[in-house]
């Protein structure tokens, strides 16, 4: 069967389940840095629908990719030849877990989770409030800020294996390290996670979230589309990536519409009309120049999806 016939069949099957599918959806709409060509099929779905959707993709032999808010992601200009599933869960799907925790479906945003915690007087998610991603993306990346990481608050992660099995993993089994987890290579999909917090004063928690948000606004180029830090922190003993890039005189360097932010050299911003190829080329130039001048090889933090 031709690929387009398979897509038609899949669309019909999903329609019967009330799941809407978009064809040739520009992925630049679903990545915060706003680059990327079309996905053949694009589905926005709740985390609980993921096992069924993956089963369909597997039955028809279709490549698939699961994303959250696309805040650490750049899709290639050629797009993605397959099915992109974007997880979206409402804040009402957050479930309290006694005594001081929550069950968070993968498509809930960190901001929704942090806002719920402050309402309930639970502390521990303040660091995550300003990270513009979902729980799924944050577990995948072991996202972190201000000295805390997802691994510090997780007690369990529920995953869907490539064989369609649902597993419950302990944090140790997730093999978390700096901006890395086993999910970066395992092909497992995150369905949700349990977090443990601690009781706190709602006013103090809110003030801390506002203080950290203010710090982000002052230091980060939030007025431009970006995917956050373009590079990971270099190995211990080296200055942060932003300091190295700045020291090498690369602030403001442009390729097409992509630019090393003048405000924060760790960010690459889209000044308008940037392509994924611009972003890749700029990152390559920064890596080469930083290595030439300092000997440090920077590793990309942004994840790339689709053929170059
Ligand atoms: C302005 C700005 C500030 C940022 N600040 C920070 C920061 O302080 N700290 C930090 O760590 N990051 C930061 N980031 C990066 C980003 O927000 C985080 O990495 C975030 O956790 C990504 O979540 P997401 O839902 O957007 O994931 P996406 O970008 O959608 O996906 C990231 C990766 O995870 C995979 N993935 C997503 N969901 C799932 C799932 N359910 N199952 C399996 N795989 C999945 C995707 O396939 C992709 O490979 C920032 C980004 C921006 C734009």
pLDDT digits (tens, 9 = 90+) for 222-271: 999 999 999 999 999 999 999 999 999 999 999 999 999 999 999 999 99
229 catalytic per annotation: yes
Total count of domains within the chain: 3
59 catalytic per annotation: no
Containing domain of residue 28, as a range?
3-87
Task: Determine the distance separating the centroid of ligand 1 and the alpha carbon of 138, expressed in angstroms.
Answer: 5
CA distance 13 to 35: 30
pLDDT 10s digits, 74-133: 999 999 999 999 999 999 999 999 999 999 999 999 999 999 999 999 999 999 999 999
| pLDDT band at residue 3 using 50, 70 and 90 as cut-offs | confident
Hey, is 106 helix, strand or coil?
coil
Residues 190 and 246 in one domain: no
CB of 156 sitting under 6 A from ligand 1 = no
Catalytic residue chosen out of the listed positions 179, 226, 261, 287: 179
Residues 127 and 228 in one domain: no
Handedness of CA 91, 92, 97, 99 (dihedral sign): positive
The CATH number of whichever domain residue 17 belongs to comes to 3.30.43.10
**260 to 87, 161, 249, 263, 270: CA distances (angstroms):** 30, 38, 10, 9, 9
As a whole number, mean pLDDT of residues 284-305 equals 98
Any domain includes 192: yes
CB of 141 sitting under 6 A from ligand 1 = yes
Residues 80 and 96 in one domain: no
As a whole number, mean pLDDT of residues 192-205 equals 98
Beta bridge partners of 144: 149
CB of 143 sitting under 6 A from ligand 1 = yes
User: Could you say which of 151, 170, 205 is where a domain stops?
Assistant: 205
pTM value surpassing 0.85: yes
| pLDDT band at residue 38 using 50, 70 and 90 as cut-offs | very high
Any domain includes 21: yes
- Count CB atoms within 10 A of the CB of residue 63: 12
Residue 70's pLDDT is 98
pLDDT 10s digits, 138-182: 999 999 999 999 999 999 999 999 999 999 999 999 999 999 999
């Amino acid at each position: 069967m031709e690929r387009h016939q398979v897509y038609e069949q899949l669309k019909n099957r999903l329609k019967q389940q009330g799941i809407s599918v978009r064809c040739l959806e520009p992925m630049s709409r679903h990545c915060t840095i706003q680059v990327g060509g079309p996905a053949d099929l694009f589905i926005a779905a709740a985390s609980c629908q993921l096992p069924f959707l993956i089963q369909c993709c597997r039955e028809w032999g279709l490549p698939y990719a699961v994303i959250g808010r696309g805040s650490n992601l750049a899709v290639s200009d050629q797009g993605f030849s397959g099915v992109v599933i974007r997880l979206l869960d409402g804040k009402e799907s957050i479930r309290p877990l006694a005594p001081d925790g929550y069950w968070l479906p993968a498509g809930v945003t960190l901001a929704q989770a942090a806002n719920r915690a402050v309402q309930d007087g639970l502390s521990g998610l303040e660091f995550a409030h300003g990270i513009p991603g979902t729980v799924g993306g944050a577990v995948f990346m072991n996202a972190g800020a201000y000295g805390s990481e997802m691994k510090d608050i997780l007690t369990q992660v529920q995953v869907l294996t490539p064989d369609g099995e649902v597993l419950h993993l302990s944090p140790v089994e997730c093999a978390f390290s700096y901006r890395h987890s086993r999910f970066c290579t395992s092909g497992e999909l995150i369905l949700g996670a349990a977090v443990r917090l601690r009781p706190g004063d709602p006013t103090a928690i809110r003030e801390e979230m506002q203080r950290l948000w203010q710090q982000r606004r002052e230091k980060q180029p939030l007025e431009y589309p970006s995917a956050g830090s373009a590079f990971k922190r270099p190995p211990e003993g080296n200055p942060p990536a932003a300091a190295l890039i700045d020291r090498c005189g690369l602030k403001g360097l442009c390729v097409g519409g992509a630019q090393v932010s003048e405000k924060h050299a760790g960010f690459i911003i889209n000044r308008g009309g940037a392509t994924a190829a611009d972003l890749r080329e700029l990152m390559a130039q920064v890596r080469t120049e930083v290595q030439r001048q300092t000997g440090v090889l920077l590793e990309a933090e942004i994840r790339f999806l689709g053929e170059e």
